[in-house]
Amino acid sequence: MSRNAESTAFRSALEVVRGVEPRVADAIAAELADQRESLKLIASENYASPATLLAMGNWFSDKYAEGTVGRRFYAGCQNVDTVEALAAEHARELFGASHAYVQPHSGIDANLVAFWAILADRVESPALRKAQARQVNDLTEADWFALRRELGNQRMLGMSLDAGGHLTHGFRPNISGKMFDQRSYGTDPATGLIDYDRVAEAAREFKPLILVAGYSAYPRKVNFRIMREIADSVGATFMVDMAHFAGLVAGKVFTGDFDPVPHAHIVTTTTHKSLRGPRGGMVLCGPELADQVDRGCPMVLGGPLPHVMAAKAVALAEARRPDFADYAQRIVDNAQALADGLLRRGATLVTGGTDNHLVLIDVSGYGLTGRQAEQALLDSGIVTNRNSVPQDPNGAWYTSGIRIGTPALTTRGLGAAEMDATAELIHTVLSQTTPGTGPDGAPSKAKYVLDPAVAESVGKQAADLLTPFPLYPSVDLG
């Protein structure tokens, strides 16, 4: 693709938008400028390709397409069928799955689709069978009561939020923690690693309907073969949420016991993190659950977003190219270089390192809360997010951790040398920041003190680090 074509496409699009609401065009251009200038270390973000971005801005956005390919509730879905079928085909081929459902709008939506598919498949409910046979009008009040009783309060065992699990894996403030009678497994306090014997023990005691694996802040691989054995030993359905590491599975960095697809009954993911596609979700499963999964809309989803499914098809086609495997390996190499650089400078890392795309710094070692550290880094041009660490004394709002990830910077082309330089910048900021006090002089978990000259100097060094690696070099907005 020529540099001119991409520049022309984005310039023209902005010109058209500017003709209606110039402030929106300005905000879009400003977003590109901001992303170009910041050292983006948010582990769940990336930079989608121009082709993926452009596939989202078109007439598919205007189309309703409830239902599935070839079986829609609206007329005129032939072109939506084409892109949805292509996205699903690419997903099946890429991940070696027998079925792919590409309609979920986000990872949370994908998880809800999976939960309901499992409930519908596993829970013996005559009322539900009636509803599934499309006899909803025949359901009596007693049927509805039975349906709620039979489907409600089923058991889910997932990784706890402070050990690195996701809030949709049974965290109380999320619907998953309310829909399910929920219990969590954590990590070994000494090592920070999943203790599979403890998971097995929890599963034996709790007998969950669903065992969930997957994480958003656990810096290690998970052995999905062992997790499946645990699920089988108690008759649970094994679900893996691979949202964070889907790119590492796609790029064959995680294989064998560490590839969830051959081991799980059902796998969910987002498409925009390490997979580097548009914002969205996806479900992979075998034939047993396919029918229920395909009922995701209207069971829990609003109308599918055909423009996003088109972009998913483009991004998944990109992920099937040989260079994606190289990209995926570089993500992990970079995370390890970043971890090594931080460790050498005295930082404390949860689990002592990483074997995936993310690193979790326990910033209590610097005498800071996660919130103080996050803001001090942001002042210095380094974009991260605060995150709980296991048994976090500061809770989920202030936290004691900073989560950093390498998918985005790896897309820009930064490598091991730049990761070491990044570690130096992070260490400089964190070691020179001190906790502040509130208006009454009492210690504050949010306030901090960082010499503006340090922030400015680090910001300048961060910008210099990025200069040889321009973001979207093919896009010149003029």
Least gap, CB of 277 to ligand DSN (angstroms): 15
274 touching ligand DSN, by CB under 6 A: no
Residue among 155, 220, 273, 412 flagged as catalytic: 273
Annotation says 273 is catalytic? yes
Closer residue to ligand DSN in complex, CB, 10/245:
245
Sign of the alpha-carbon torsion through 418, 420, 421, 426: positive
Close Cβ partners of 186 (under 8 Å, ≥ 6 residues apart): 159, 160, 162, 163, 198, 390
Burial string for 278-298 (b: 16+ CB within 10 Å, else e) reads: bbbbbbbbeeebbebbbbbbe
Least gap, CB of 44 to ligand DSN (angstroms): 3
Closer residue to ligand DSN in complex, CB, 125/410:
410
Measured torsion, CA atoms of residues 338, 341, 343, 348, in degrees rounded to the nearest 10: -50
Q: Please answer whether residues 311 and 87 qualify as being in contact, where contact means their C-beta atoms are separated by less than 8 angstroms.
A: no
Closest CA to 447 of 398, 404, 403: 398
- Per the DSSP assignment, residues forming a β-bridge with 240 are 213, 267
Instruction: Find the binder of ligand DSN among 104, 107, 158, 304 (CB under 6 A).
Output: 107
Closer residue to ligand DSN in complex, CB, 46/336:
46
Residues 216-245 that bind ligand DSN (CB under 6 A): 216
CA gap 77, 90 in Å, rounded: 20
DSSP string, 380-406: TTEE-EEE--TT-TTHHHH-SEEEEE-
Closer residue to ligand DSN in complex, CB, 292/410:
410
Half-sphere exposure of 125 (CA within 13 A, CB side): 25
Annotation says 270 is catalytic? yes
Q: Which helix (H) or strand (E) holds 344?
A: helix 322-344
Number of residues lying near ligand DSN (CB under 6 A): 4
Q: Fill in the per-residue mask, 280 to 319: x = in contact with ligand DSN (CB under 6 A), - = not in contact.
A: ----------------------------------------
Annotation says 241 is catalytic? yes
Q: Which helix (H) or strand (E) holds 463?
A: helix 452-466
44 touching ligand DSN, by CB under 6 A: yes
Task: Say whether 112 counts as a known binding-site residue.
Answer: no
The 8-class DSSP code of residue 320 comes to T
Closer residue to ligand DSN in complex, CB, 216/411:
216
DSSP string, 231-277: HHHTTPEEEEE-TTTHHHHHTTSS-GGG-STTT-SEEEEESSSTT--
Task: Say whether 166 counts as a known binding-site residue.
Answer: yes
Q: Which pair of structure tokens corresponds to residue 13?
A: 């699009």
Closer residue to ligand DSN in complex, CB, 158/306:
158
Least gap, CB of 432 to ligand DSN (angstroms): 27
Residue among 187, 270, 411, 422 flagged as catalytic: 270
Closest CA to 35 of 44, 45, 50: 45
Residue among 64, 121, 333, 434 flagged as catalytic: 64
Task: Say whether 53 counts as a known binding-site residue.
Answer: no
- Per the DSSP assignment, residues forming a β-bridge with 214 are 241
CA gap 228, 238 in Å, rounded: 6
Answer left, alpha or beta for residue 232, where phi above 0 means left and psi between -120 and 50 means alpha.
alpha
Least gap, CB of 208 to ligand DSN (angstroms): 22
Residues 128-187 that bind ligand DSN (CB under 6 A): 166
CA gap 324, 336 in Å, rounded: 19
Annotation says 64 is catalytic? yes
Burial of 192 (0-12, 13-18, 19+ CB in 10 A): buried
Least gap, CB of 399 to ligand DSN (angstroms): 13
Residue among 37, 45, 66, 288 flagged as catalytic: 66
Least gap, CB of 43 to ligand DSN (angstroms): 7
Closer residue to ligand DSN in complex, CB, 83/222:
222
Task: Say whether 161 counts as a known binding-site residue.
Answer: yes
Q: Fill in the per-residue mask, 190 to 219: x = in contact with ligand DSN (CB under 6 A), - = not in contact.
A: --------------------------x---
Report the residue number whose CB is nearest to ligand DSN.
Answer: 44
Closer residue to ligand DSN in complex, CB, 161/234:
161
Least gap, CB of 397 to ligand DSN (angstroms): 15
Residue among 6, 84, 143, 241 flagged as catalytic: 241
Residue among 279, 288, 291, 345 flagged as catalytic: 279
Least gap, CB of 39 to ligand DSN (angstroms): 17
Annotated binding site for (6S)-5,6,7,8-tetrahydrofolate: 161, 165-167
* Active-site annotation, residues: 64, 66, 241, 270, 273, 279
- Residues near ligand DSN (CB under 6 A) are 44, 107, 166, 216
